[in-house]
Structure 1
Amino acid sequence: MHTKRITPALIAAAAFTLAACASEDPTAPAGGSGDARDKTVTIGTANFPESEIIGQIWAQALRDAGYDVDVKSGIGSREVYLSALQDGAIDVVPEYAGNLTQFFGDLEQGADEAKVRDALNDVLPDTLQAGEFSPAESKDAYRVTRETADEYKLSSIADLSKLDSVTIAAPPEFAERPYGPKGLTDVYGIDASTVSVTPISDGGGPLTVAALVQGTANVANIFTTSPALLDNGEEADLVILDDPEHLIPPQNVVPVVRAGELPDGALDVINNIDAKLTTQDLVDMNLRNVGKERAEPKQIAQEWMNTQ
């Protein structure tokens, strides 16, 4: 297996992006010094609400266990926040097992959760460590409008071959993901010349949904736990296409940490709270955040923690 190397140039780019995201420089070294550092954990989150909610759950669990916690939110895409993790700007970040494995190396087509775990242990750099897989899972998915599904009789990803062109509303990095355009061609035989990506950086949120509903794109990459809401707050009538060839691998929530850098016991706290998290919890919490309630991630996390 080949491991993708994170170059100094990419780390530098990550630092620039992080600095632009917050008035307080999130690339500054995590924590402080001396005894205080022994109880401080710096959590980073990606640039979509679910990651922020999970990060806030971890933060509350760690504070309840007596740790000092700093949360650096909305860092960016996987390329950026993993660079920040390796560079020491953060200590731990919420991740998704299959995508993380494919980022660093190869993953057997159709791999189940156990095979993803084995592969992740093989490809993860020595500087990083994965925690336990949570029962909660948030998978990428291909969605189309009900109208498009009915018109072209689309029920699975393979049926996208019926379209003259496949224009996918998705994050910019989706174009390079194994389950993106390349996967459509390699696994499902979709003509590569018909596939394109319309980049939208809202993690499958309302801008992505609008592009699909308004016809800017005819397919969208939206997580299975993400509510597909219209501007008026109503849910769009979308269809998730089946994935019979398992192009998209298991995506259990998993903490990734800088190896040996967390205070003693901190990863156990995160693993223990993740074990209580379910996929339906993610669906419900995401809806509270992006739906009519517009609850803040910190509030959602605190109220979920109160039920545990």
Structure 2
Amino acid sequence: MAVLNCGMSLSAQADQVTIGSKQFTENIIIAEIVTRVLNYQGLAAEHKKGLGGTRILWGALVQGEIDIYPEYTGTLSQELLAGAQSSDLQQLQAALSAYGISMSAPLGFNNSYVLGMRGQTADGLKISTITDLRRYPELRFGFSNEFMSRADGWPGLRDRYQLRQSHVTGLDHDLAYRGLMQGQLDVIDLYATDAEIAYYGIQPLHDDQDYFPGYLAVILYRQSLAVEYPEIPEVLRSLGGRIAADRMSAMNAEVKLKGLSEQGVAAAYLNDEFGMKTAVRDIKILDALLRNTLDHLWLVLISLTAAIMAGIPLGVIAARHRRTGRIVLSAAGIIQT
């Protein structure tokens, strides 16, 4: 339990460590766990939640805009470090070092890509493998936008399995689930630890040609961070092997199906696994509504003020100068359209 024993010197550092996360529940939970562990050790750490997709987080890490974020070995080998073997952790670390990045030990679960169908549909068509999809070119596929363009996503999968489906749509991951359950889609991409698989009775299709690599969850961090805070690598290593696949699926379910916050779920995990008690600010629905309303009103105020400051002088000019007025009205009409 080394994570509990390496915090004393961290509190002496005044700078803040920034942890980023991608735009899906599991990544946010892991980033929240890391943030809370570092805060528990006395380090000022901030979680920037849901910054974007893989390329955005990777670019931010390499450029020093964030210090840490959760990633997956398959994504590293197929998308970010072309040519590296996801099963060879030493090779991945060597490739990462060229960018000044280090990697923690695997956290304990493999979140590989999976294709899935409604169980009733799969049984009715006798589909159990991805190869079986060849027999049904009329099936409607709906994949997450990132999966549509990834090197380890749809283009390579289509070519490997020689799939001939033409109705293939890119959309948000959560919308794909809705489309599947409403009968608007037949096949979607899943993450192996998605809570919805069991909840909705979705049938994962066997990757019978071993297309998808392993996607072991790891933590990436800047090597310069280890120089500033030598204890951080040990803190991150202490999380290695401590999150089992079933626990990760359960945490995903608590957020996506039970409506709990990522902060609360991460805090509960740390309490159960390490005996860490971290504070949770539970954001109620009314609090979130009030905050979003105030944000909206502030944006409206800014735009309205700008419109008034520009509109009144232009209106005066348009009223006094007919030719200029026609130009102003034409431009305003184009902008409004």
Q: Shorter-chain TM-score: what band? A: 0.7 to 0.9
What stretches of structure 1 of length at least 5 have no aligned partner?
1-33
Partners of 2:248 and 2:111 lie apart in 1 by: 8
Does structure 1 residue 256 correspond to structure 2 residue 220?
yes
Query: Partners of 1:101 and 1:214 in 2: how far apart?
Result: 35
Asked if the contact 1:134–1:252 (Cα under 8 Å) also holds between the matched residues in 2, the reply is: yes
Offset at 1:217?
2.0
Q: Does 1:217 align with 2:181?
A: no
What's the offset of the Cα at 1:187? Answer: 2.2
Q: Give how far 1:166 is off.
A: 4.5
Contiguous gaps of at least 5 residues in structure 2: 1-11, 274-337
Is it true that 1:81 corresponds to 2:53 in the alignment?
no
Separation (CA, whole Å) in 1 of partners of 2:168 and 2:234: 40
Show the counterpart of 2:108: 135
Deviation at 1:183, TM superposition (A): 2.5
User: Does the residue aligned with 1:81 lie in a helix, a strand or coil?
Assistant: helix
Partner of 2:232: 266
Kindly provide the amino acid, as one letter, of the partner of residue 118 in structure 2: T
Partners of 2:238 and 2:166 lie apart in 1 by 42
Shift of 1:118: 4.2
1:129-170: CA deviation from partner (whole Å, max 9, x where unpaired)? 222122122121100112321232110111110112343322
Query: What is the alpha-carbon distance in structure 1 between the residues aligned to residue 271 and residue 199 of structure 2?
Result: 28
Q: Whose relative contact order is higher, 1 or 2, with alpha carbons under 8 Å and at least 6 apart?
A: 1
Structure 1 residue 107 displacement after superposition: 4.8
Contact residue 43 and residue 59 of structure 1 kept, 8 A = yes
TM-score, L = length of structure 1: 0.77
> 1:122, CA displacement in angstroms?
4.8
- Counterpart of 2:93 in structure 1 is 121
For residues 6-21 of structure 1, what are the structure 2 equivalents within 5 Å? none
- Residue 208 (structure 1) aligned with residue 181 (structure 2): no
CA distance in 1, matches of 2:167, 2:103: 33
SS in 1 for 2:87: helix
Higher helix share: 2
- The corresponding residue for 1:197 is 168
Secondary structure at the aligned position of 1:179 is classed as coil
The answer to whether structure 1 residue 55 and structure 2 residue 31 are counterparts is yes
Question: Which amino acid letter does the alignment assign opposite residue 163 of structure 2?
Answer: I
1:22-37 residue pairs with structure 2 within 5 A?
35-37=13-15
RMSD of aligned residue pairs (Cα, Å): 2.2
Matches of 1:43 and 1:79, distance apart in 2: 15
Give the equivalent residue in structure 2 for 1:301: 266
Q: Distance in 2 between matches of 1:222 and 1:175?
A: 13
Q: What CA distance in whole angstroms lies between the structure 2 residues aligned with 1:147 and 1:275?
A: 35
SS in 2 for 1:155: coil
Alpha carbons 2:143, 2:176 under 8 Å: kept: yes
Contact 1:101 1:119 in 2 (8 A): no
Distance 2:162 2:150 in 1: 16
Q: Tell me by how many angstroms 1:196 deviates.
A: 4.9
- For 2:268, give the aligned amino acid: E
1:200–1:185 Cα change, 3 Å: closer
Distance 1:211 1:59 in 2: 34
Q: Contact conserved, 1:144 with 1:218, CA < 8 A, in 2?
A: yes
**Higher Cα Rg, which structure:** 2
Taking the TM superposition and a 5 Å limit, the aligned residue runs for 1:149-298 are 149-191=122-164, 194-201=165-172, 204-205=173-174, 207-228=175-196, 235-262=199-226, 263-291=229-257, 293-298=258-263
Distance verdict in 2 for CA 1:164–1:114, change over 3 Å: closer
Given the superposition, is the C-alpha separation of residues 199 and 182 from structure 1 closer, same or farther in structure 2, using an over 3 Å criterion? Answer: closer
Question: What TM-score does the superposition give when structure 2 sets the normalisation length?
Answer: 0.71
Distance 1:159 1:48 in 2: 29
1:85 alignment partner, SS class: helix
Distance 2:91 2:150 in 1: 17
Counterpart contact for 1:198–1:217, Cα < 8 Å:
no
Distance 1:196 1:183, change over 3 A: farther
Partners in 1 of 2:195 and 2:31 — Cα distance? 19
**Deviation for aligned residue 1:97:** 0.8
**Aligned-residue identity in percent:** 24
Measured in 1, the distance between the counterparts of 2:159 and 2:95 equals: 22
Does the CA contact (< 8 Å) of 2:104 and 2:240 recur in 1? no
Shift of 1:85: 1.2
Distance in 2 between residues matched to 1:164 and 1:227, nearest whole Å = 28
AA of the residue aligned to 2:112:
K
Give the counterpart letter for 1:269 in structure 2: V
SS of the aligned residue for 1:94 comes to: strand
